[in-house]
């Protein structure tokens, strides 16, 4: 028989959070509902007026696409109505969306509603990324969000590709579920995902390579001389999903224009780092483990090197020698 994501989460909740009394599963069902709404909209891109720019610039100084706006609204609505949610933080909102549930609100949910927006209009995979933290007792507002990634209770993403796949961890392995459009449920398709120990691809925006720090350029050169091939989609979720299944390494290094890299710590690097480690891989910022970084701002950026144990360790060894 099939196992749906709801059944799986209920089981994990019983095993991991026996005191949760349904709040964790209710929170995650808000997430699956929102992502089903988003994927339904994406599947109709080109048929309804949903592609293109919404005309606004977001907090990152980037043009918001209509789907960025729709995805954000779907998540804010579906999660904001869950009793257990205290605070929502979105890439598309400058400030945390604080919900006045100081007593019942146990969780902080941080998300990138639509990742890979430059790929929306051209039928290339995009995704949603999320991270769930416990709100510390007596701590409210932005202070409750400033926690290192190792404190995440759960994290995951949905990749809207040739099928929609929901991948999550609650600290007890990584599980993937494929949306069965006939029954409208995410069905377990990847039980206990493990990243291959090493792979054959590296994934980086090579157009920026001239301004990468020297150790990054030397690293890429050494992978090339060992016969590695390159894959770069430009949607972090999709590039990570491939890396999770096939192994290898994804990097977004510091560049001259973006000395801290481009990707955001709280809702891009942290959730994927949690998944990578749970699947046997590694994630670093070039020096430190991503999950050890104590954030100082909700939209802060970080360089990211994430993937198979062998490739990430190789970067560390090469950097130590240079």
262 binds ligand AHG (CB under 6 A): yes
Q: Does 254 bind ligand AHG (CB under 6 A)?
A: no
Contacts of 156 (CB under 8 A, 6+ apart): 31, 129, 130, 166, 167, 168, 169, 271, 275
Residue 142 interacts with which of Mn ion, ligand AHG, none, CB < 5 to 8 Å by class:
none
Whole-number Cα distances in Å, 142 to 26, 79, 97: 23, 18, 9
Which of 84, 108, 115, 261 touches Mn ion (CB under 5 A)?
115
Q: Collapsing DSSP states into helix, strand and coil, what is residue 298?
A: coil
Q: Rounded to a whole number, what is the distance in angstroms from the first to the last CA of the chain?
A: 54
- Helices (H), ranges, the chain: 5-16, 23-43, 66-80, 214-225, 236-246, 270-278, 309-321
Q: How far is the CB of 205 from ligand AHG (least distance, A)?
A: 3
Residues comprising the chain, all counted: 322
Binding of residue 311 to Mn ion (CB under 5 A):
no
Task: CB nearer to ligand AHG: give 72 or 98.
Answer: 72
Give, as ranges, the residues between 41 and 60 that touch ligand AHG (CB under 6 A): none
Nearer to ligand AHG, 115 or 277 (CB): 115
Find the binding residues for ligand AHG in span 93-112 (CB under 6 A). 112
Pick between residue 53 and residue 205 the one whose CB is nearest to ligand AHG: 205
Distances (CA, A) of 283 to 145, 167, 219, 237: 21, 17, 16, 15
Q: How far is the CB of 301 from Mn ion (least distance, A)?
A: 11
Phi and psi for 83 in degrees, rounded to 5?
-50, -35
Pair of tokens at residue 204: 């980086």
Using CB under 5 A as the binding rule, the residues of this chain from 53 to 112 that contact Mn ion are 91, 112
Choice between 51 and 139, CB closer to ligand AHG: 51
Q: Does 239 bind Mn ion (CB under 5 A)?
A: no
- Which positions lie near ligand AHG, rule CB under 6 A? 62, 91, 112, 115-117, 205, 234-236, 262
- Which positions lie near Mn ion, rule CB under 5 A? 91, 112, 114-115
């Amino acid at each position: 028989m099939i196992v749906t994501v709801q059944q799986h989460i209920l089981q994990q909740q019983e095993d991991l959070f026996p005191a949760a009394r349904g709040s964790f599963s209710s929170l995650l069902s808000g997430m699956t509902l929102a992502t089903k709404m988003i994927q339904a909209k994406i599947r109709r891109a080109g048929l309804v007026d949903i592609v293109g720019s919404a005309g606004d610039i977001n907090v990152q100084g980037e043009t918001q696409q209509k789907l960025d706006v729709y995805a954000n609204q779907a998540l804010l609505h579906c999660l904001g109505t869950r009793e257990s949610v205290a605070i929502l933080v979105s890439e598309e909102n400058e400030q945390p969306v604080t919900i006045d549930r100081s007593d019942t609100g146990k969780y902080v949910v941080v998300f990138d509603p639509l990742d890979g927006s430059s790929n929306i209009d051209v039928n290339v995979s995009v995704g949603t990324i999320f991270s769930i933290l416990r709100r510390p007792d007596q701590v409210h507002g932005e202070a409750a969000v400033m926690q290192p990634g190792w404190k995440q209770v759960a994290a995951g993403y949905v990749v809207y590709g040739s099928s929609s796949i929901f991948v999550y961890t609650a600290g007890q392995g990584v599980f993937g579920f494929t949306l069965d459009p006939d029954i409208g449920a995410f069905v377990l398709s990847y039980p206990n995902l493990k990243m291959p120990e090493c792979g054959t691809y590296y994934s980086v925006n090579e157009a920026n390579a001239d301004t990468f720090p020297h150790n990054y350029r030397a690293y890429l050169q050494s992978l090339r001389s060992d016969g590695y091939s390159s894959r770069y989609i430009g949607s972090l979720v999709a590039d990570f999903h491939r890396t999770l299944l096939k192994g290898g390494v994804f990097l977004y290094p510091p560049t001259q224009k973006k000395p801290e890299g481009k990707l955001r710590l709280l809702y891009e690097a942290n959730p994927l780092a949690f998944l990578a480690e749970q699947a046997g891989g590694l994630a670093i910022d070039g020096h430190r483990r991503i999950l050890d970084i104590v954030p100082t701002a909700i939209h802060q950026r970080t360089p990211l090197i994430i993937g198979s144990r062998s490739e990430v360790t190789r970067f560390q060894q090469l950097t130590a020698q240079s």
